[in-house]
């Protein structure tokens, strides 16, 4: 018998690599900044993926998402009010962020009975915060923590969304989508439209007023035609700034900073008052500016951009600050390779942003790497929408129109398309070079199989036999071969879906192919077969296919999940998952103990191994927004670390899960948390187990506290109770794990601190 001891010191635990099940994280794109604000030390940026903060001295970046307590990642407003950061969202949520995180959630606007209620801006005045929304201004009293009046129309003929608010000489000035509204702040009834004076022709237009500012006691307004100032009776153009499509204004040291966009990029100018000469601080010949973050005495304002986070012109040129993260929040496909690296694809039809990799083993700040056609011309386009794992651990990313690329390490090795060797077929009659690849899978012999979507040559399936050679397969039963997903079972049968959520369905059946004619009923068709609703398929729209750990084929359709328990007889041995009979099964992943994780339009479900019971469901509501969207487009599992990755059109989320791949042989146990405080939730976790491990908890004198079988998947958990269900006392305990045959035993120490 071999025994390994892993000694853990009570007061110095050392690194624990295990993660407690149930921890959510968000990974969102934050390059496109919508709104920005600044306090003395920090620039704040609101994006569709949450908030990030840049320390103006060190350039260190912090991120805040729903996983860190925000109500949602879809941020539309941000401001510094009373030393706290106020964050407004598209659904009307308001979060107040203090030094310790989110300190307050204000839900009144979100719960209002209005169709459009996005928060757009904040203005703090003493004990009052004026909150500009899609429908007007809501008044919030800080001392009472409650809402007062709502100013909804200002007298405009249509609802007027509020873009900015300024207070000047006890007057409220409001920038709206239809012009500017002014009222005396202490008027008796600001709810009455008659209390407001309207200016609907600013710079010759009744279009939106984007921002307001006060420079030398003069109110100025930003429009798409330039900057206007209030001359006492109406608005007059700032002559030196006419013709500029102004995005934002900021006043620093009595000087007005103006950032404006044109077809070629953006420019940051400044002007003394409204009559002085214009000085250009700098310009960028690409992208757009969306805001300015400046404070008195803070120097040149930072510029919010839609392509590279926050930018500042430090005299020698532009410097950018953006979190290390994915390029897009639309994740159409995910896969985890043999090294635990996550690969993400983004989209089609001009909406793709290339693809990304996430390596959790790398240092923070370098875990994400994005691949776009600008840095990698070999890609041909950015419309990369599907990730596949081929034979011998190869990673492939498929595009819509440009073939597919193979990854080597952390770089692109090559691209296969209509001109490569081996060559792939065009997918449309009008363009011989337009190649769509819609699935990659590994064969049991180490080969790589590809789906050539709609191949005009009829070669819908491709088997790579070497770097330069391929075999091609077709049959009339495949019709026009608009296959989407691909999976290969233990018999070498290729299973193909015909639909995907983001593209019109072309095929309405489940197809399969085995060149050895192994599947029942395929000897006369060259190994090809098809299942329709008449054969028991829940629905002809098939989104996803996966092979589980017993070799069963899991098929996700528009109306439920089907399990083919014996793939050699698909039309005879199958059943439908009753609990999911009305769900659109858009993604399927199988964990280390054969549980089925299913992505639908109503969130993520975890099913038991035979898919007869729902074990848990995760939605936006049940996770407090940590799941970015209920419309799940892709799933992937890091089996070694026990991490489920969830791809949506609003960002990527991860969830730590219990099952991980068991070790082939017992290694040093990983235990966490250690020390373990009881009572506690979640339980202490024991990792690095082999299949069918048994766990014993012993006192230091060798007496038995409890004994139990590991819950499976290379992990076990313990709640700190003995065999009678009583919480154990504080002290040091031995955790002993042994394999089923008893030939391997591993021991570690665990410190217990009992609080009650």
pLDDT in tens, 607-637: 998 899 999 999 999 999 999 999 999 999 9
SS3 content of the chain, % helix, strand, coil (to 5): 5, 50, 50
Q: What is the pTM of this model?
A: 0.84
Please give the pLDDT value at position 441.
97
Please give the pLDDT value at position 3.
30
Under 8 Å CB-to-CB from 154, ≥6 apart: which residues? Answer: 136, 160, 174, 176, 181, 183, 193, 196, 198
Beta-strand runs (E) in 253-394: 255-262, 265-272, 278-284, 289-293, 302-305, 310-313, 318-321, 333-336, 342-345, 355-358, 368-371, 384-389
Using an 8 Å Cβ cutoff, are 631 and 619 in contact? no
460-510 residue pLDDT tens: 999 998 899 999 999 888 888 999 999 999 999 999 999 999 899 999 999
Nearest residue to 399 via CA among 437, 350, 351: 437
Give the mean model confidence (pLDDT) for residues 210-232.
96
Residue 451 CA to residue 609 CA, distance in Å, equals: 29
Q: Hey, what domains does the chain have and what are their CATH numbers? A: 2-18+662-754 (2.60.40.1930), 108-200 (2.40.10), 207-322 (2.120.10.30)
Q: How confident is the model at residue 666 (pLDDT cuts 50, 70, 90)?
A: low
* DSSP string covering 116-129: ---EEEEEEETTEE
Largest CA distance in the chain: 95
**3-class secondary structure for 341-358?**
CEEEECCCCCCCCCEEEE
Q: Using the Cα atoms of residue 706, residue 712, residue 713 and residue 714 in order, give the sign of their dihedral.
A: positive
Span of 325-329, 448-452, 600-604, 695-699 with lowest mean pLDDT: 695-699
Residue 227 CA to residue 230 CA, distance in Å, equals: 10
Under 8 Å CB-to-CB from 590, ≥6 apart: which residues? Answer: 546, 547, 548, 549, 554, 596, 597, 637
Percent of the chain with pLDDT over 70: 95
145-189 residue pLDDT tens: 999 999 998 999 888 999 999 999 999 999 999 999 999 999 989
CB atoms within 10 A of CB 360: 13
**β-bridge mates for residue 53, sequence order:** 44, 62
4-54 residue pLDDT tens: 232 222 222 222 233 445 899 999 999 999 999 999 999 999 999 999 999
Residue 730 CA to residue 59 CA, distance in Å, equals: 44
Give the tokens for residue 517. 């004619």
Under 8 Å CB-to-CB from 436, ≥6 apart: which residues? Answer: 398, 399, 400, 401, 427, 452, 453, 454
How many residues in total does the chain contain?
756
Q: How confident is the model at residue 662 (pLDDT cuts 50, 70, 90)?
A: low
């Amino acid at each position: 018998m071999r025994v390994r001891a892993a000694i853990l010191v009570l007061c110095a635990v050392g690194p624990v690599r295990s993660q407690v099940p149930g921890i959510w994280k968000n990974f969102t794109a934050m390059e496109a900044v919508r709104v920005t604000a600044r306090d003395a030390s920090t620039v704040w940026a609101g994006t569709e993926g949450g908030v990030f903060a840049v320390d103006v001295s060190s350039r260190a970046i912090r991120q805040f998402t729903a996983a860190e307590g925000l109500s949602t990642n879809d941020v539309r407003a941000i401001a510094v009010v009373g030393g706290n950061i106020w964050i407004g969202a598209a659904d009307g949520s308001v979060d107040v962020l203090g030094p310790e995180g989110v300190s307050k959630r204000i839900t009144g606007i979100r719960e209002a009975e209005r169709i459009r209620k996005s928060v757009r801006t904040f203005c703090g005045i003493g004990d009052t915060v004026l909150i500009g929304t899609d429908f007007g201004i809501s008044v919030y009293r800080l001392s009472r923590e409650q809402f007062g009046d709502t100013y909804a129309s200002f007298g405009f003929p249509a609802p007027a969304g509020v873009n900015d608010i300024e207070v000047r000489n006890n007057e409220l000035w409001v920038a709206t989508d239809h012009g500017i509204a002014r009222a005396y702040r202490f008027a008796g009834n600001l709810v009455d439209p008659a209390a407001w004076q309207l200016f609907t022709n600013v710079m010759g237009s009744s279009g939106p007023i984007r921002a307001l500012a006060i420079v030398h006691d003069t109110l100025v307004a930003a429009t798409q035609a330039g900057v206007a100032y209030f001359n006492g009776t109406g608005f007059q153009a700032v002559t030196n700034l006419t013709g500029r499509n102004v995005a934002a204004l900021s006043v620093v040291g009595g000087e007005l900073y103006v950032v404006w966009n044109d077809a070629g990029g953006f420019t940051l100018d400044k002007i003394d008052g409204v009559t002085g000469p214009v000085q250009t601080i700098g310009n960028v010949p690409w992208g757009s500016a969306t805001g300015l973050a400046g404070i008195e005495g803070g120097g040149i304002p930072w510029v919010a951009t839609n392509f590279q986070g926050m930018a500042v012109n430090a005299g020698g040129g532009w410097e950018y600050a953006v979190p290390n993260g994915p390029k897009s929040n639309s994740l159409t496909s995910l896969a985890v390779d043999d090294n635990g690296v996550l690969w993400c694809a983004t989209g089609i039809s001009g909406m793709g942003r290339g693809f990304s990799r996430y390596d959790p083993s790398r240092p923070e700040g370098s875990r994400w790497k994005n691949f776009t056609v600008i840095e990698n011309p070999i890609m041909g386009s950015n419309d990369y929408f599907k990730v596949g794992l081929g034979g011998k651990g190869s990673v492939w990313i498929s595009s819509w129109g440009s073939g597919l690329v193979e990854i080597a390490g952390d770089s692109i090795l090559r691209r296969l398309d209509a001109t490569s060797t081996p060559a792939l077929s065009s997918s449309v009659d009008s363009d011989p070079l337009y190649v769509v690849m819609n699935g990659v899978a590994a064969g049991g012999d180490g080969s790589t199989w590809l789906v050539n979507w709609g191949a005009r040559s009829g070669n819908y399936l491709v088997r790579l036999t070497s770097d330069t050679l391929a075999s091609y397969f077709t049959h009339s039963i495949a019709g026009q071969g608009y296959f989407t997903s691909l999976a290969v079972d233990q018999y070498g049968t290729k299973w193909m879906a015909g639909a995907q959520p983001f593209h019109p369905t072309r095929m309405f059946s489940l197809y399969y192919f085995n060149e050895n004619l192994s599947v029942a009923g395929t000897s006369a068709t060259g190994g090809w077969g098809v299942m329709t609703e008449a054969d028991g398929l829940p629905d002809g729209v098939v989104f996803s296919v996966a092979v589980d750990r017993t070799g069963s084929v899991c098929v996700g359709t528009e109306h439920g999940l089907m399990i083919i328990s014996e793939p050699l007889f698909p039309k005879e041995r199958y059943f439908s998952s009753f609990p999911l009979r009305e769900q659109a099964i858009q993604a399927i992943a199988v964990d280390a103990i054969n549980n089925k994780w299913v992505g639908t339009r109503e969130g993520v479900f975890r099913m038991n191994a035979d898919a007869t019971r729902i074990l848990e469901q995760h939605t936006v509501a049940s996770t407090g927004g940590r799941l970015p969207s209920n419309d799940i487009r892709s799933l992937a599992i890091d089996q070694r670390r026990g991490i489920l990755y969830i791809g949506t059109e609003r960002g990527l989320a991860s969830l730590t899960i219990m099952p991980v791949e068991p070790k082939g042989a017992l290694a040093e146990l990983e235990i966490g948390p250690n020390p373990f405080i009881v009572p506690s939730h979640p339980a202490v976790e024991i990792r690095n187990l082999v299949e069918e491990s048994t766990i014993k908890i012993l006192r230091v004198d060798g007496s038995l506290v409890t004994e139990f079988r590991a819950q499976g998947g290379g992990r076990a958990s313990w709640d700190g109770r003995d065999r009678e269900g009583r919480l154990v006392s504080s002290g040091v305990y031995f955790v002993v794990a042994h394999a089923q045959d008893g030939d391997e035993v591993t021991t570690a120490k665990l410190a217990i601190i009992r609080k009650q």
